[in-house]
Structure 1
Amino acid sequence: MQAGWSKHLIDIPARGLAMHGFGQSQHRAQSVRTPLYARAVVMGDTTAHAAIICCLDLGYVTYAMRAGVVARLQAELGAGFDEEALLLTCTHTHSGPGGCAHEALYNLVTPGFVAEHVDAIVAACSTAIVQAWQSAASTQIEYAEGRFDAAVEVAWNRSLSAYNRNPEVEARAPTQSHLAIERAMQVISLRRNGQLEALISLFGVHATCLGNDLRAHDGDNKGYAAAQAEAALQRAGAAAPVAIFAQATAGDVSPHYHGPGQGARRRRLKAEADQVAYAQHNARLQSEHALALARAPAPMAVEGDIDAALTYVDFTQLRADPVFADGIADACTSEPCHGVAFFVGTPVDGLGMPKALGVGARLIARALKARRLKSDHPQHAHYRALYAAQGNKDVLMEAGSQRVLGQPLATLKLPGWVDPVVAEMKRQARAGALTHSALVPTVLPLQILIIGSLALIAAPGEFTTVAGARLRQSVDACLRARGITRTLICTYCNEYMGYVTTQPEYQQQNYEGGHTIFGQWTLAAFQTRFTQLAATLCQPPGARSHDRTTRPAPPPAQELAQRTARL
């Protein structure tokens, strides 16, 4: 194939704004510990028909970013650029800049939308992609995969009680959480004249080696892994190497030990130097494994056509195919709702509200649910459908109707002094900055990218280990008909919308279930729509009729301006 690669600095100074990831207002960037990059690889039979994979050292990708990149590439690359073949993803470092979404909720901590951040990200992505496009030359592309040995302490399942609910898994003891993850890494390697020049690694583990008490932009484990691999490739003779370390099923996967004594072990990593060293060590495990796979004998050659399909789907009232919903005919999603478990956080990677507040919030949420489900409630039908979708989640925030425990945001009785994020949310609501604006994305991008005999599912948000495996298996079963031999999954692609758990995991209502905002049938809805998209790719291009025009509605300019940070 023809292929090219490049990377470009994401030039965002540290200005004391809160970073995206932990949702903590005190987690502010006062300095830059490591540079953050946009890394791009272009692959195709010619550059006029190319797959573009661009990975950012950031916590998320948003539609604001993607729309800006698409506009720039259409202008710079012309008719040869195919938006459906552009995959924009990220490392999910929790030590990167925030304020990058048109939707309001995940910007509250920053506080507000930061247009300068989006502009810098769009510029870095576009420059890296254009340079990769222009550098394309004949390249040998290969694929390999391999599991980390069980003794390698690279990742642990942080939600074992939920994982063990899945009927297809072997139940693991608390001391075996390292076995309750997908331990295989997938690597796409690119060579010229026998020289390994670039690679793309897929392995799911949160980029949270660095905690929310630090104050610097940092690529965390994935960023360090990329830098380490690039340095090793350069020492071996590569002229301008690029190593992408993207995420697979990282939703319930932590780089920190989870099991007996987990709190004490995490507290030993208190000093900044210790946390950085831990991130570098975790990175070394990933980078060395990726390089070993890329250099292993008898890899699979990747040859054939480039193909892609991209569609946007409204997830607020989506009916799932009973095949993926335990035979239930009326399994549906609903407007987005965040559970108490989301606000409580995770015990090792990042705690949220105090436990006592969480207990109180659960009691209020359950009492509110009981009142709303009474037959004489004026909105009984609406709430019956909402709670049928949300299941046993203790709903704290209804992002669709913009209510917290039943109260409109503007008149929320919770005082602002409790938390700066609460104060900012109330300020924006009272100023009218949220009246016609979404709190979270609801029209989501689904994409499948085909590179020869490989298929890459590009999924938005955070999929747990088993949720991702089920989605991959569903799509793989469809694509085998067109000669696909490996179906992979890459997450955090093209948009950020929270988590996706399996329906059994959801019942546990750990953090991940509390952040599965469209309800207990979210995964089933993804399987339904992704298999439809896969079926589309089994048709000739001229016969495809998938929706290529739907996009998220832009926010009202005046409201966006009211919640935009002034630097």
Structure 2
Amino acid sequence: MTANRPVTAAAMPALSRRTFLGAGALAAAAALLGPRALARAQVSGLRAGRGRADVTGEILGAGMLGYAVLDQTTSGLHLRQYSRAFVVEDPSSGERIAHVTVDVGLMFQSILEEVVRRLQQRFGDLYHRGNVLLGATHTHAGPGGTSGHAMVDITALGFRQRSFEAQVAGIVESIVAAHDDLAPAELAVSIGVVEFGGGNRSPLAFARNPDADRARFPNGIDPLTRNLGIVRAGELVGTINWFSTHGTSLPADNTLVSSDNKGYAALLAETELYPGMRGDGKPFVAAFGQATPGDVSPNLTEGIGDDPFAATALVGRRQLDGAVEALGGGAAVGTGLDQRHRYVHLPSFVVAAQYTGTGRDERLSPAMLGASFAAGSTEDGGGGDDLPFFEAEYGGNPLIGRIGDVVVPPHLAEPQHPKDILLPMGLIDGMIQQTLPFHLVRIGGLYLFTCPFEATVTAGLRLRRAIASAVGTSEDAVQIQGYTNGYAHYVTTPEEYDQQEYEGGSTIFGRYQLPAVVQIATELATDLASGRRSDPGAPEPDMIGRIPHSPVGNPSVDVAPDGRTFGDVLTAPAASYARAETAVAVFVGANPNNVLRRGDTYLAVERRDGATWSTVATDADVATFLRFDTEGLATRARVEWVVPAGQQPGTYRLRYFGDSRAASGVTTPFAGATEPFAVA
């Protein structure tokens, strides 16, 4: 379980409480961008489109991605996972960007390559590695086994084709929807503050940074939230939000698939604040993406409590509160769209003396994970009490360090000092991604730099400073986004690296990795500002198609108990429920991985209206839970509905939908329904 270190209200700056989710929510939403803000925004000349699609994978028996805990396997569904895409086009130059926020733990080269391949089958060269940005929200509550690099698939016990296909197909569908939705739009940027969105989980490492850096973050976190709002005909139709906090509200003993706090914020925005269709007949799309959360935990905040699902909701609502309040101050992005990108082989990278801080050139080395990586972040679940690994704060791992000194050649170990090297993964082909993508995009006056790392807040600050200086703008005009188009663990400042907390042990290319990224970002910024283009390079091949498929959690044959059929009710709900109570029913089920029902639902809450029934909630609703348990070839499905506080009184029922698999492999859909019950 997560070991929380509460940050008290007295330790936080004096910020007003946000009440946009109260009775005045819809009125506040309608007034987000007033006439003055819209008038300022009528200058972009850009076109924008948005789309959303389901990427939910295997919700039963799949090893989960994030905590690297072998016995954490999926057993049901809390919140569906989505891909939210925005395509922005500059008609005057033909430049375009597809920016996608995906409710998954990490983004991999394997996913990007297959997405681009399918897009090019449909659109030719319109979309490519340079203008498709796939960012992960970093939820730790989804199925793993989707990487083309072997190390990341180990805890899923191999590759999982069904989940990989769900993610790729959903991402492509969302981009196609955004492409088809392109229309003249005005883009506005707004910046605000999220109150109690997280706390610094490695304060000793953060304290090593210079006073000038620490002064920017008095509480060790970056509280800023940024929106890129899409406006059509005076109406807000979509938004991309960036805020730095980890997707770890749900702990390592959770086994329900969920999009965690950022997915919760997005669903609330799309269903509670902006329900229904926009004026153009399309639904509102709200992407809540990541910025630089490397040393920020959502579990170090006030009022979280012991219920992880309540904690997820609370941190999600806080992010939405901050985003909504900031939207009222939107300012035009201006005109133009441009991008530069580059693939860089970091193990052979030489960092120029002007970036190192040592007065001399410094080398990186092949990827190596430290013993403190195996310890995990104590505040977000740790590596498990049964593992003899510790962050430096708790004594470090001197024995591992001595072993590493023997195993790793000195010329490769030196760039990693003072890391206790545990896993020199970069010395094994295909184990970990080492040729990495970096992008710099200009949308009007907003600069977006993306990388495949989990950057600490101070690492993000130094990147913003460098890019702003190179292009001649303010730091506030630069947004850093991690977890994009690949994954290569963390990036800390050199000072933080020396502490060798979890983040430093996971900074895989050594002490000067951040200076290397600053150099790359500066070179991209200089190219973009001057109009110069250089060879962007390309990724190295990964092991997609060669990693063995996971042998566990795969559907075989479904059997109903004697005297029962699929969909039968085993446990009926009570006769009536009050608001905030949980209605529960258990059904004869089948393995949900037989048919993933992507874009559909495994359950429904229905209300009787006269002689007909209407759906009021599905498994994509924040008030529903779906849990499975198995005994041999038999499966039970437990449907739960937490009756919302404002639910209309009436007669309701719970329904469950599944697909049973015969020995021949043929699947047959079925459905079950409870007897009616009352909500008083």
Both proteins in one fold, TM over 0.5: yes
Aligned residue number for residue 524 of structure 1: 515
Q: Is the 8 A contact 2:111 2:168 kept in 1?
A: yes
What is the correspondence of 1:1-400 to structure 2 with a 5 Å cutoff? 1-46=46-91, 48-148=94-194, 152-169=195-212, 179-235=219-275, 238=278, 239-257=282-300, 268-269=305-306, 274-296=307-329, 299-354=330-385, 357-358=388-389, 362-369=397-404, 371=406, 383-400=409-426
Q: Is the 8 A contact 1:197 1:233 kept in 2?
A: no
| Aligned-partner Cα distance in 2 for 1:371–1:554 | 29
Q: Is the 8 A contact 2:192 2:325 kept in 1?
A: no
- Structure 1 residue 235: Cα displacement: 4.0
Aligned residue number for residue 379 of structure 1: none
**Are the structure 2 counterparts of residues 554 and 22 from structure 1 closer, same or farther at C-alpha, using a change threshold of 3 Å?**
closer
Q: Is the 8 A contact 1:344 1:354 kept in 2?
A: no
Q: Is the 8 A contact 1:338 1:515 kept in 2?
A: yes
- Structure 1 residue 45: Cα displacement: 2.1
- Structure 1 residue 217: Cα displacement: 0.5
| Aligned-partner Cα distance in 2 for 1:124–1:237 | 21
Task: Give, as a single letter, the amino acid of the residue that structure 1 aligns with 2:343.
Answer: Y
Aligned residue number for residue 560 of structure 1: 547
- Structure 1 residue 365: Cα displacement: 2.4
| Aligned-partner Cα distance in 2 for 1:447–1:179 | 30
Deviation per residue, 1:335-373 (Å, 9 max, x gap): 11111111011122111143872269923323235557x
Matched residue SS, 1:206: coil
| Aligned-partner Cα distance in 2 for 1:485–1:160 | 25
Deviation per residue, 1:25-47 (Å, 9 max, x gap): 12111111111101001112239
Q: Which has the higher strand share?
A: 2
TM-score, normalised with respect to structure 2: 0.70
| Aligned-partner Cα distance in 1 for 2:374–2:295 | 16
Percent of residue pairs bearing the same amino acid type = 29
**Are the structure 2 counterparts of residues 178 and 125 from structure 1 closer, same or farther at C-alpha, using a change threshold of 3 Å?**
farther
Q: Higher relative contact order at CA 8 Å, sep ≥6: structure 1 or structure 2?
A: 1
Residue number among 420, 445, 450 corresponding to 1:453 in the alignment: 445
- Structure 1 residue 91: Cα displacement: 0.6
| Aligned-partner Cα distance in 1 for 2:540–2:123 | 24
Q: Is the 8 A contact 2:507 2:513 kept in 1?
A: yes
| Aligned-partner Cα distance in 2 for 1:284–1:566 | 34
Task: Give, as a single letter, the amino acid of the residue that structure 2 aligns with 1:459.
Answer: C
| Aligned-partner Cα distance in 2 for 1:134–1:160 | 46
Q: Is the 8 A contact 2:89 2:96 kept in 1?
A: yes
Q: Which runs of 5+ in 1 are unaligned?
A: 373-381, 403-436
**Are the structure 2 counterparts of residues 556 and 188 from structure 1 closer, same or farther at C-alpha, using a change threshold of 3 Å?**
closer
Task: Give, as a single letter, the amino acid of the residue that structure 1 aligns with 2:131.
Answer: A
- Structure 1 residue 49: Cα displacement: 2.9
**Are the structure 2 counterparts of residues 489 and 370 from structure 1 closer, same or farther at C-alpha, using a change threshold of 3 Å?**
closer
Q: Is the 8 A contact 1:233 1:241 kept in 2?
A: no
Deviation per residue, 1:500-549 (Å, 9 max, x gap): 00000001000000100111111011111121122221233xx412334x
**Are the structure 2 counterparts of residues 510 and 169 from structure 1 closer, same or farther at C-alpha, using a change threshold of 3 Å?**
farther
Residue number among 475, 485, 490 corresponding to 1:499 in the alignment: 490
Equivalent pairs counted in the alignment come to: 501
- Structure 1 residue 485: Cα displacement: 7.6
| Aligned-partner Cα distance in 2 for 1:277–1:370 | 46
| Aligned-partner Cα distance in 1 for 2:79–2:386 | 34
| Aligned-partner Cα distance in 2 for 1:371–1:75 | 50
**Are the structure 2 counterparts of residues 236 and 145 from structure 1 closer, same or farther at C-alpha, using a change threshold of 3 Å?**
farther
| Aligned-partner Cα distance in 1 for 2:233–2:49 | 14
The 10-residue stretch of structure 1 (382-391 or 117-126) with the greater mean CA deviation from structure 2? 382-391
Task: Give, as a single letter, the amino acid of the residue that structure 1 aligns with 2:156.
Answer: T
**Are the structure 2 counterparts of residues 370 and 133 from structure 1 closer, same or farther at C-alpha, using a change threshold of 3 Å?**
closer
**Are the structure 2 counterparts of residues 222 and 556 from structure 1 closer, same or farther at C-alpha, using a change threshold of 3 Å?**
closer
User: Does 1:476 find its partner at 2:476?
Assistant: no
| Aligned-partner Cα distance in 1 for 2:214–2:335 | 40
**Are the structure 2 counterparts of residues 110 and 177 from structure 1 closer, same or farther at C-alpha, using a change threshold of 3 Å?**
farther
Matched residue SS, 1:526: helix
- Structure 1 residue 322: Cα displacement: 1.6
Aligned residue number for residue 510 of structure 1: 501
- Structure 1 residue 178: Cα displacement: 7.8
| Aligned-partner Cα distance in 1 for 2:297–2:150 | 27
Aligned residue number for residue 530 of structure 2: 539
**Are the structure 2 counterparts of residues 170 and 330 from structure 1 closer, same or farther at C-alpha, using a change threshold of 3 Å?**
closer
Q: Which has the higher helix share?
A: 1
Task: Give, as a single letter, the amino acid of the residue that structure 2 aligns with 1:54.
Answer: V
Q: Is the 8 A contact 2:147 2:544 kept in 1?
A: no
Highest Rg: 1 or 2?
2
Aligned residue number for residue 10 of structure 2: none
- Structure 1 residue 11: Cα displacement: 3.9
- Structure 1 residue 401: Cα displacement: 2.8
Deviation per residue, 1:268-321 (Å, 9 max, x gap): 51xxxx21111111111111211221233xx22122121111211111121112
- Structure 1 residue 475: Cα displacement: 1.5
| Aligned-partner Cα distance in 2 for 1:42–1:371 | 51
| Aligned-partner Cα distance in 2 for 1:66–1:529 | 21
Q: Is the 8 A contact 1:104 1:439 kept in 2?
A: yes
| Aligned-partner Cα distance in 2 for 1:361–1:50 | 48
| Aligned-partner Cα distance in 1 for 2:177–2:53 | 9
Matched residue SS, 1:52: strand
| Aligned-partner Cα distance in 1 for 2:95–2:217 | 43
**Are the structure 2 counterparts of residues 556 and 119 from structure 1 closer, same or farther at C-alpha, using a change threshold of 3 Å?**
closer
Query: What do you get for the CA RMSD once the two structures are aligned?
Result: 2.5
**Are the structure 2 counterparts of residues 370 and 76 from structure 1 closer, same or farther at C-alpha, using a change threshold of 3 Å?**
closer
Matched residue SS, 2:60: coil
Q: Which runs of 5+ in 2 are unaligned?
A: 1-45, 555-680
| Aligned-partner Cα distance in 2 for 1:386–1:25 | 30
| Aligned-partner Cα distance in 1 for 2:142–2:356 | 37
**Are the structure 2 counterparts of residues 135 and 12 from structure 1 closer, same or farther at C-alpha, using a change threshold of 3 Å?**
same
| Aligned-partner Cα distance in 1 for 2:119–2:226 | 28
Matched residue SS, 2:389: helix
| Aligned-partner Cα distance in 2 for 1:316–1:53 | 28
- Structure 1 residue 487: Cα displacement: 1.3
